[in-house]
Structure 1
């Protein structure tokens, strides 16, 4: 019998600084209900879903910074989402800022039946540790987050093997290959990506193209589905690229968000679609040659030293 999984992505419109956790969670609950009404089994929410994307600001007051972090999950404010997930029997991925004792991480959790069954902490932390002069958009994740310490685990979620990553992780091929080597079926990723970044001065069309490029290539090269949920619209004056989508193991986009608002997209994923690739061109056991890949883990930066 063919294995299928009904998957939804819940894009959110902008979340401004004045929006409370209660307001945001109410929006997420409506999106979860919409996904459930369509028959979805899993829903993917964006990175740092519960707040505005605060790393665009340089803050030095510890109390102000910690106000954006969650010391427990679920918290009293987020508990309604967990309870709704349990009642509807719809699992979800949620990105948030995690306070773990004195440590700060950009994290995501996998929740099923109202209980956390998996956690991931962002590994590829982009941006800077201090504000840069003449940048149209600051990106200060290195100021607020440690590098994740949980690796790239894959969780057996019953119907499928699910992995997670966050935003900038999606641009790095190693992210997906580590999960591909664990026979991942679905990679869930949330992101908050501005149209302008630093001083790159890119043409306006490139951020959206460069969002899709690694998603499509990685789904194909690692024989998995990828569900990518964006924050979209103009948040605190910064336009976000949006473009939430679900990508098939063929490298094709199965469905994509059309708006810059709260929007649910969904697709019944054929999990066996990957089998042809796993048994042929991307049969890792037959074709991979890790003895020639040592530089990937032994060398961080590029240089001219012979390998």
Structure 2
């Protein structure tokens, strides 16, 4: 018997610096209505879905950036989104900047079940960018200034009829992200991203290269762990800064099942039979039969590059 999860990858176009949470939530609700009308039962929104990509803006006083963070979830601004999801029986995932009661700051995503309750939380582990203002860059990317590395690892949840995990943006480039979830039997990885269309330290790496590396990372992670991956963009030009599109759904063989071809608000709806993950997990990527952990020590013993073992 098949286990079909009909996922709606809900891309957001640009969110300008002056745009408030309520207007963004209104856009998110419109996408949810469209997804529901097209048969979706699990909607996935991007990283930092409620605001502009604020790590491009430098605050000398770090505390000034707290206005971009959510001290609770749901809150007054997002309650209508939760109410709509509950009314439609729609599961969802979205990213936001989290400010904890202890004053800690994380780049966070959540899973919300069909009853509108938060069922899972993930905090971004692989933070890109830098801490201090860098005048050698074409634009700033200050995630390391405003966020702490995530402290929850990569859990996998029994969610919406399958085994679902989360990642955020730069995490998708790291094979360890998928493998940790793969070792828990993950059947669908959902991730949001806000990716600048130009590398701030390498001007000749533009949109085409950025999209190539995006697809390469997601397709490899899906194939090597026999899982669906749903990658959802914030796209377009925010206050003069361009973000790539590239919202897509990849199957357990690493093949792209669908991809949006624009940079504005839109929904990609794909029916994913989670049983399609079984073949890969039981054959070439049957970890219990084929992994050789006795040779993988360097993966956890070293952070940076060290001396070759053959010397």
Please indicate the TM-score interval, normalised by the length of the shorter structure. over 0.9
The whole-number CA distance in structure 2 between the counterparts of 1:88 and 1:95 is: 20
Secondary structure of 1:5 counterpart: strand
User: Which position in structure 1 is the counterpart of 2:64?
Assistant: 64
User: Which position in structure 1 is the counterpart of 2:89?
Assistant: 89
Task: Give how far 1:212 is off.
Answer: 0.4
Contact 2:47 2:234 in 1 (8 A): yes
User: Which position in structure 1 is the counterpart of 2:104?
Assistant: 103
Kindly report which structure 2 residues correspond to 1:102-181, keeping only aligned pairs within 5 A, or say none: 102-112=103-113, 113-181=115-183
Tell me if 1:33 matches 2:33.
Answer: yes
The whole-number CA distance in structure 2 between the counterparts of 1:168 and 1:47 is: 10
The whole-number CA distance in structure 2 between the counterparts of 1:90 and 1:185 is: 19
User: Which position in structure 2 is the counterpart of 1:290?
Assistant: 293
Task: Give how far 1:64 is off.
Answer: 2.8
Deviates more, 1:52-61 or 1:197-206: 197-206
Tell me if 1:248 matches 2:251.
Answer: yes
The whole-number CA distance in structure 2 between the counterparts of 1:11 and 1:306 is: 45
Task: Give how far 1:2 is off.
Answer: 1.6
Contact 1:137 1:196 in 2 (8 A): no
Task: Give how far 1:4 is off.
Answer: 1.2
Give the TM-score of the pair, scaled to structure 1.
Answer: 0.98
User: Which position in structure 1 is the counterpart of 2:12?
Assistant: 12
The whole-number CA distance in structure 1 between the counterparts of 2:290 and 2:20 is: 51
Task: Give how far 1:133 is off.
Answer: 1.6
The whole-number CA distance in structure 2 between the counterparts of 1:37 and 1:85 is: 13
Secondary structure of 1:67 counterpart: helix
Contact 2:62 2:146 in 1 (8 A): no
Contact 1:195 1:240 in 2 (8 A): yes
Question: What 5-or-longer segments of structure 1 have no aligned partner?
Answer: none
The whole-number CA distance in structure 2 between the counterparts of 1:258 and 1:76 is: 33
The whole-number CA distance in structure 1 between the counterparts of 2:158 and 2:212 is: 32
The whole-number CA distance in structure 2 between the counterparts of 1:117 and 1:104 is: 20
Contact 1:8 1:264 in 2 (8 A): yes
Contact 2:50 2:96 in 1 (8 A): yes
Tell me if 1:225 matches 2:228.
Answer: yes
RMSD: 1.1
Secondary structure of 2:68 counterpart: coil
Contact 1:5 1:269 in 2 (8 A): yes
Secondary structure of 1:194 counterpart: coil
Task: Give how far 1:39 is off.
Answer: 1.0
Give the TM-score of the pair, scaled to structure 2.
Answer: 0.97
The whole-number CA distance in structure 2 between the counterparts of 1:76 and 1:185 is: 33
Task: Give how far 1:199 is off.
Answer: 1.2
Aligned equivalent of 2:242, options 230, 239, 247:
239
User: Which position in structure 2 is the counterpart of 1:182?
Assistant: 184
Task: Give how far 1:201 is off.
Answer: 2.5
